[in-house]
Structure 1
Amino acid sequence: MTQPIKIHVLHTGTVIVDEALPFHRPTDRPLAWTGLFRSKKHRVEVPVSVYLIEHPQGLILIDTGWNTVNRDHQLRNLSFQWPVNKANLPAGQAVNEQLAAMGIKTSDLDYVLMSHLHCDHADGLSLVRDAKHILVSEEEWQAANHDHMRYLPHEWKGVPVKAFHLAPSLDGAYHRSFDLFGDGSVKMIWEPGHSAGLCATRVQSYDTDKYVMLAADAGYAAKSWEENLTPGVVIDRAEAQKSLNYIAKVAQDPKCVECLANHDAAVRPHVITL
């Protein structure tokens, strides 16, 4: 029997948004997700999750959550995106602080894999800049460095990010993925729509046919695929719907131990062992 794979589900604070941002409904007016001219009754506060994977081939972090700078200089940090995404990061909940509490230095991380580079996922990149490898899909890297409305490039300034190639495969709605170790145990699966290079992460057990799907923002919560609610923020809603359909199918697979979205208020920090 091989060494088990452990997935630590961590919450790096919360994000305060209009409910139309995570959960788009056909009745929403245009730009409802911005929260502008909407009552406070539409605001929701949801967790910002990251995942630490203890893998036989190394330590892997999926996403980085909020940066500690938001505690004192949030408006300056989040800039024009602040009215839409407000950060709440209590003491001790930043990713580097949680790793330290576990006895892990950020330099111990073998890989940081980014699902995508929106602010609530990439803001903590500078906190883990000394990880051995920091990777994101080519599609996302290109979009993030050209689209300055959806992204905040200062979040990765000075951080040694490298892009990975999504190869043809049988994985996902679009049949492209990146196999981190070449053995199928950790795959980044392309699920565009919310962003150009969004990737879900599939973590497969070595000893059984069981796996965990980390859906990123293909759906913001289990509610997304259960009620067929695509994200409010999309670059292509048809693509986002196709990606959500795939995640909905995965969530029903008996082999899937857990299917987790990054912002599900019903999910508490816990550890999954495969």
Structure 2
Amino acid sequence: MPVHATCKRLWALDSPSFTLDASTLMYGLSGELTVPLPAYLIEHPKGLVLFDTGLVPEAHDDPEAVYGELATMTKLAVKPEQRLDRQLAALGYKTSDVTHVIASHSHLDHTGGLSLFPQAKFYAGEGELPFAFWPTSVGAGFFRTADIEATRHFDWNYIPGVDVDLFGDGSLTVLFTPGHTPGELSLLVRLPSRTFILTGDTAHLRAAFEQEVHFPIDSDTEDAVRSLRRLKLLRDAADATVWITHDPDDWAAFGHAPHCYE
């Protein structure tokens, strides 16, 4: 068996939420469902890594000023202390301490804080950023190109359709899991105590993951189902815990900052 190095710690940063018609998340559901919008912070001996960046910082103080009608339509629930920079400060870090930022994909609930980290190396799946600027009409309202435009001159690196061992030691592997968007990414995080797979939006709900049901407005439904099946195989091979970013039951079951996994 190969011996892998490990990351030091993982935090799930406290999360705003959307309340949505459940049928928009998975076929066959009814009523409303409140879903979390987290970002994850990973400490590695070679750097401090963010997986997704949540909402625009200013939206935590005035969501309507940033998102307009969308804030009302999604029943956005957000607190000032949930701002990404404020949460980092509460954990003893500055935004300038972050060395790597991985965008699972370019929907607005994942890209809002990108501009906070001009010093970092950035990662997106191949084809993702062009799609954000010129999406198909289905789901186009989920993009906020201003978040990405603000990072145009940042150090972007593209995951070229394959998995990438970020530090070359097996501790943090960026998984190419397209379907939701062309460049959707997941992340395998090895810690001393356990291994997590953070799904980004490869899966939105636990039931959809287990039943291999694609999201209703995925950009490529065949790729989306293929990526779900792939994550299951990787879960079993790595004896990993899958954490589905937007699943409210997963959010309730796992610990959040200041709690960390080590």
**Match of residue 23 from structure 2:** 20
**Match of residue 149 from structure 2:** 157
State how far apart, in whole Å, the 2-side matches of 1:211 and 1:71 are. 31
- Where does 1:1-274 land on structure 2 (aligned, <5 Å)? 5-23=8-26, 25=27, 42-71=31-60, 73-79=62-68, 81-82=70-71, 85-126=74-115, 128-147=116-135, 149-159=141-151, 160-167=153-160, 176-205=162-191, 211-251=195-235, 253=236, 255-266=238-249, 267=251, 268=254, 269=256, 270-273=259-262
User: Secondary structure, in 3 states, of the residue corresponding to 1:240?
Assistant: helix
State how far apart, in whole Å, the 2-side matches of 1:42 and 1:222 are. 17
TM-score by length of 1: 0.79
State how far apart, in whole Å, the 1-side matches of 2:182 and 2:142 are. 11
**Match of residue 171 from structure 1:** none
Shift of 1:118: 0.2
Runs of 4+ with deviation above 6 angstroms: none
For 2:158, give the aligned amino acid: H
State how far apart, in whole Å, the 2-side matches of 1:264 and 1:131 are. 31
**Match of residue 34 from structure 1:** none
Does the Cα contact within 8 Å between 1:193 and 1:238 map onto a contact in 2?
yes
Deviation digits for residues 170-205 of structure 1 (CA, Å, limit 9, x no counterpart): xxxxxx123322333222111111111100011235
For 2:198, give the aligned amino acid: L
State how far apart, in whole Å, the 2-side matches of 1:137 and 1:79 are. 29
Deviation digits for residues 44-86 of structure 1 (CA, Å, limit 9, x no counterpart): 1111111110111111011011223324543452357556544
State how far apart, in whole Å, the 2-side matches of 1:88 and 1:216 are. 20
Does the Cα contact within 8 Å between 1:214 and 1:259 map onto a contact in 2?
yes
Shift of 1:5: 2.1
Deviation digits for residues 75-130 of structure 1 (CA, Å, limit 9, x no counterpart): 4523575565443211211211111101100000011111111011111223x234
Does the Cα contact within 8 Å between 1:13 and 1:94 map onto a contact in 2?
no
Aligned length: 248
Deviation digits for residues 207-235 of structure 1 (CA, Å, limit 9, x no counterpart): 79x63211111111323212333222211
Does the Cα contact within 8 Å between 1:188 and 1:201 map onto a contact in 2?
yes
For 2:228, give the aligned amino acid: L
Going from structure 1 to structure 2, the CA distance change for 1:90 and 1:183 (only over 3 Å counts) comes to same
State how far apart, in whole Å, the 2-side matches of 1:189 and 1:197 are. 10
State how far apart, in whole Å, the 2-side matches of 1:238 and 1:83 are. 32
Structure richer in helix, relative to its length: 2
Does the Cα contact within 8 Å between 1:137 and 1:163 map onto a contact in 2?
no
For 2:132, give the aligned amino acid: A
TM-score by length of 2: 0.82
Gaps of at least 5 residues in structure 1 are 29-40, 169-175
User: Secondary structure, in 3 states, of the residue corresponding to 2:181?
Assistant: coil
For 1:261, give the aligned amino acid: I
User: Secondary structure, in 3 states, of the residue corresponding to 1:59?
Assistant: strand
Percent of paired sites with the same residue: 25
Gaps of at least 5 residues in structure 2 are none
